[in-house]
Amino acid sequence: MAKINGSDAMFKVLYEWNIDHVYGFPGGSFDSSMNAIHNWQDKIKFIEVRHEEAGSLAASAEYKLTGKVGVCFASAGPGAAHLFNGLYDAKYDHTPMVAIVANVPTSKQDIDFFQAFDEDKWFLDASVWCAQAKTAELLPVLMDEAIRQAYAKKGPAVLIISKDYGWQKIEDNFRVNYDAHVEDNYPAPTKASVEDAVKLLKEAKNPVVYFGLGAKDAGSELKEFAEKFKTPLLSSYLGKGIVEDNFPAYMGTIGRIGPKPANEIQSHADLVVWVGNNSPFSVLWFNKNAKVIQIDVDSAKFGKRHSTDVSMLADSKKGLRAIIDAGEDRMESPLYKASIADRENWDAWQASFKDSDESPVRPEPIWDVINKEAADDAIFAVDVGNVNVDQCRLLKMHDDQKLATSGLHATMGFGAPAALAAAEVYPDREVWQLAGDGGFAMMNQELLTMARYNMHILNIVFTNETLGFIQAEQEDESNQPLSGVILPDNDWAKVAEGMNVKGVTVRTKAEFEAAVKEWKKMDGPMLIDVKYTHKMPYSTELNSLDDPAFVKKYQAEDLKPFSYFADKYGMETDAATGASQHAEPEPDPEPDTTSGASRH
């Protein structure tokens, strides 16, 4: 029987799972596996990031973009510790990935040796599966297990390997279980659940659909549902892009980062068709008396965020299709008419600023260029901060465009690593990194990686000299003096040039458009530093259009409150609230001043 090094056997498993690249940063404790990377270089590409956190975030982003597990590695001690943000991002967003973590040789463990830790204890909470190989022979076995567990449990799997095991010779006889892996095949709904759902839908006055990432394969069904039953479509933040933004019944994302219509409409529903959505902030939304039809493949989600009247354990695509086929067409309700009008008013208001010559430049002119210039199959790697607000409201996704961001973990610095992953797995497509100056500052060293591998990435940094998302929280939620949010102005174009990336600074729409066109004609990466307005985005949390000061602050003279459209289309009070006419109204939730959570 032929012999093979333990680490080579481990990489052979990766190859036979059709994994052709890994992200990582070398270290002494990983030398045996670096030797395997050298041996496998013709089959598995090593993408050498400049920080281990970037590798783990890239691995998490890869599944979000492709549905295929991403792989990263780190050396013992500090290298391993740097993986946590990517692992928690994957765990919170239910993203399969694998992290290979080195440990010191077995003879040096448990004696307070250099960079030696009980790493399995570190990673138990950050993973859905974690194991440390007890023998060299287990390296290929556990690598195969790690990949299968990551897919099965929808999260990060961690394999810890001792340096000496990677060098040891073992028999080359492990049979990979790749052929046993099957695509997800979720159930169809029961007849009773479909009948119950159709009954509630027929009885409702003002139904809406609230969908999340679990509906990612059901975009066409969501649109057909909305058209047949005349239901506004609302989504979680991670649901953006499932239905193209220009679909008339799509009102956008509910929550602080979303547009005005979605936030206004949600409180007036008397029935919510809740599809593949587990947003933690949804406990703050919808009338407590509203009925709910919840479609999910995980029974633990039923009733978690709102009381549920019909629990439909089913694939979102199959569940929606069953209701569409069984239900009767509905006429447009007053809520539906008011919703369409509310969105049209909001869209017109935003569009009115697209050619603004305000300085520093407003968001609308810049995002107008992005919408016009981004290819129909462009990929957007979105960082965390106020960029999520602008992207959520102003980016008009369509066709085969894709988006990846850090959802529930919401880790700043996600944009650059996600862009690396996108450029690696889709080398023939445009990749746009969208980041604020706060988030970009955390992972800007990955410009070196982009330059090294000549990745065609456009890095757009919105420089507004503040941690804008936190500034708005301090101003609007906790009403405190600004503290710790101000950033120094920086010349990111010079930083980019110093890292061998073309850098351009722009201050106007015309300058930005010219820079984008230049990048589209060139190879490799570019960075555009947009000197951006310091004004905060429209506050959907306050949304006080009856307050002249609020209207003046946001130049919102052309916006109308939802009550205007509700009155215009004759919405009844009880139908508008979803509550009985004799019930006491629910009080508005108090501002969140204690948890530190941002209302996405």
Whether residue 600 is predicted with pLDDT greater than 60 in this model: the reply is: no
Position 114 scores a pLDDT of 62
Instruction: Find the catalytic residue in 16, 46, 109, 115.
Output: 115
**Is 114 an active-site residue?**
yes
Position 292 scores a pLDDT of 96
Give the pLDDT mean for 134-159: 96
Position 587 scores a pLDDT of 46
Instruction: Find the catalytic residue in 53, 264, 424, 473.
Output: 473
Instruction: Find the catalytic residue in 194, 384, 495, 506.
Output: 384
Beta-bridge mates of residue 502:
526
**Is 414 an active-site residue?**
no
Whether residue 580 is predicted with pLDDT greater than 60 in this model: the reply is: no
Chain mean pLDDT for the chain: 91
Whose tokens are 């603004």? That residue is 356
pLDDT in tens, 397-448: 999 999 999 998 989 999 999 999 999 999 999 999 999 999 999 999 999 9
Position 281 scores a pLDDT of 86
Give the pLDDT mean for 89-107: 91
Give the pLDDT mean for 36-63: 97
Position 575 scores a pLDDT of 46
Q: How confident is the model at residue 589 (pLDDT cuts 50, 70, 90)?
A: very low
DSSP one-letter string for 504-571: EEE-SHHHHHHHHHHHHHSSS-EEEEEEB--SPPP-TTT--TT-HHHHHHTT-TT---HHHHHHHTT-
**Is 384 an active-site residue?**
yes
**SS3 of residue 582 by DSSP:** coil
pLDDT in tens, 289-343: 999 999 999 888 988 899 899 999 999 999 999 999 999 999 999 999 999 999 9
Q: How confident is the model at residue 175 (pLDDT cuts 50, 70, 90)?
A: confident
Instruction: Find the catalytic residue in 469, 512, 562, 565.
Output: 469
Whether residue 118 is predicted with pLDDT greater than 60 in this model: the reply is: yes
φ, ψ of residue 297 to 5 degrees: the values are -95, -5
Give 454's contacts (C-beta < 8 A, 6+ positions apart): 523, 524, 525
Give the pLDDT mean for 25-50: 93
**Is 194 an active-site residue?**
no
Instruction: Find the catalytic residue in 141, 470, 485, 551.
Output: 470
Give the pLDDT mean for 568-589: 53
Q: What percent of the chain has pLDDT over 70?
A: 94
Whose tokens are 């030797």? That residue is 35
**Is 513 an active-site residue?**
no
Q: How far apart are CA 257 and CA 239, in angstroms?
A: 13
Token couple for 85? 């943000």
Q: Which domains does the chain have, with CATH numbers?
A: 3-180 (3.40.50.970), 191-335 (3.40.50.1220), 354-531 (3.40.50.970)
pLDDT in tens, 486-497: 999 899 999 999
φ, ψ of residue 465 to 5 degrees: the values are 65, 30
**E strand residue ranges, 227-289:** 233-235, 250-253, 271-275
Instruction: Find the catalytic residue in 41, 113, 114, 332.
Output: 114
Asked if 155 and 128 count as a contact pair (C-beta separation under 8 A), the reply is yes
Across 116-120, 273-277, 564-568, least confident range: 116-120
Q: How confident is the model at residue 590 (pLDDT cuts 50, 70, 90)?
A: low
**Is 256 an active-site residue?**
yes
Q: How far is CA 306 from CA 280, 405, 546, in A?
A: 11, 26, 31
Token couple for 222? 């969501």
**Is 469 an active-site residue?**
yes
Instruction: Find the catalytic residue in 47, 49, 50, 52.
Output: 52
Position 360 scores a pLDDT of 95
Q: How confident is the model at residue 179 (pLDDT cuts 50, 70, 90)?
A: confident
**Distance spanning both ends of the chain, measured CA to CA:** 57
Whether residue 105 is predicted with pLDDT greater than 80 in this model: the reply is: no
Report the candidate in 598, 125, 95, 91 with the shortest Cα–Cα distance to residue 384. Answer: 598
**Is 557 an active-site residue?**
no
Instruction: Find the catalytic residue in 47, 104, 208, 256.
Output: 256
In the sheet that holds 45-48, the strands lie side by side as: 45-48, 21-24, 70-74, 97-103, 156-162, 129-132
Position 109 scores a pLDDT of 65
Whether residue 153 is predicted with pLDDT greater than 50 in this model: the reply is: yes
Whether residue 119 is predicted with pLDDT greater than 90 in this model: the reply is: no
Position 113 scores a pLDDT of 66
